[in-house]
Amino acid sequence: MFQPERVIFEKEALQYPLGQKLYQSFLTESKVELYEAAGNRINTHIPGAGLFDKYRAGKQTLVVGVKKSLKFQTCKPSAHYQLPIVSGCMGQCEYCYLNTQLGDKPFVKVHVNIEEILEQAMKYTRERVPNITIFEGSATSDPVPVENYTNALSKCITYFGEQELTRFRFVSKYTDVDSLLKLKHNGHTEIRFSINTERIIQNYEHHTPKAVHRIEAAAKVARSGYPVGFLIAPVFLYENWKEEYTDLISYLSEQFSKNLCSTLTFEVISHRYTLRAKDRIFEVFPETKLPMEEKDRVFQYGQFGYGKYKYTKDQLKEMEQFFTEVIKRKIPESKILYII
Ligand code: SF4
């Protein structure tokens, strides 16, 4: 669970019951700095001159705000729309896409107008009748560490569980899932867990739980009937990668009984980076050991002029063969969605 050093309330948030409730509860926490600010003045309360300090202070900051624009972003290919309940994340993964996406706003922001957000989701759903509409809850965040403050996931899971034509999905590295176990989800919410080898977690995924704990959390939600998936990402091809990823998948197979495995899905994504992300990573983590040598990678042109540096074709082929073989051997009932 996220324990911020400072909490900044947007003034409008205090007009909502959840905003008031959170304000009252943080008032009693003597160690937490509390501020009220206009939506465009948040950064003035986050200390630090450069990006290096702003990033660290931002990661200790919770902003309680209102989602004003209810125009949802599309979210292809994983869903139809992003569901904007949280943005930002307490984790400090060196490779995280949020480093570039959220720029100098690395704080965690929760929205207190969840009911309005859900009403808007229903408007989008009605536009697509009779088709099902899928909402993604983690496009710009990891929503699990702040769930205890807002119950946003619980509200969304229960709400979408009652709607015939909506589905909800989110991905997490965190393990605070107990409050989700007894909800009436009706199989409409898919929870995916992002996992990696212990070496990768220790080196690059700071302030996140161990893989074994993520897998145990996944087994818990699977036993509660949720469809569950694993995102093995980003995969790094280092010395011993095959042994360590095999160990990871072996542990996973031991935690899931046969009937739970039949709903498991896997998405496997190799590490790739843009030069823009690389520059940003070096600013925030000057000592990073992330493998980002252009000479070792192949450049692939991308949208908006931001091409990616990926592993070579032969390396990706080897990776695909390896994961296909190990997952099929260890968890034959599961389904591999893609390996890229
Ligand atoms: Fe980014 Fe996910 Fe790590 Fe959070 S846990 S910093 S969202 S990669």
Query: Which is the closest atom of ligand 1 to the Cα of 99?
Result: 1
Q: What is the pLDDT of residue 305?
A: 65
CA dihedral of 329, 333, 335, 339, whole degrees rounded to 10 = -10
Nearest Cα to 180, choosing from 207, 22, 189, 122? Answer: 189
Cβ of 94 below 6 Å from ligand 1: no
Q: Find the largest Cα–Cα distance for the chain.
A: 58
C-alpha 15 – ligand 1 centre gap (Å): 30
Query: Which is the closest atom of ligand 1 to the Cα of 142?
Result: 7
pLDDT by position in tens, the chain (length 340): 999 999 999 999 999 999 999 999 999 988 999 999 987 889 899 998 888 999 999 999 999 999 999 999 999 888 999 999 999 999 999 999 998 888 778 899 999 999 999 999 999 999 999 999 999 999 999 999 999 999 999 999 999 999 999 999 999 999 999 999 999 999 999 999 999 999 999 999 999 999 999 999 999 999 999 999 999 999 999 999 999 999 999 999 999 987 887 789 999 999 999 999 999 999 999 999 999 999 999 999 877 667 999 999 999 999 999 999 999 999 999 999 999 9
Cβ of 234 below 6 Å from ligand 1: no
Beta bridge partners of 310: 298
Cβ of 91 below 6 Å from ligand 1: yes
Ramachandran class of 181: left when φ > 0, alpha when ψ lies in -120 to 50, beta otherwise: alpha
Cβ of 269 below 6 Å from ligand 1: no
pTM of the entire predicted model: 0.95
Q: What is the pLDDT of residue 304?
A: 66
3-state helix, strand, coil in the chain (%, to 5): 40, 20, 35
- Determine which residue's CA is closest to atom 1 belonging to ligand 1: 96
Q: What is the pLDDT of residue 296?
A: 95
C-alpha 173 – ligand 1 centre gap (Å): 7
| Calpha distance 24→121 (Å, rounded) | 29
- Classify domain 196-271+311-340 by CATH number: 3.80.30.30
Cβ of 192 below 6 Å from ligand 1: no
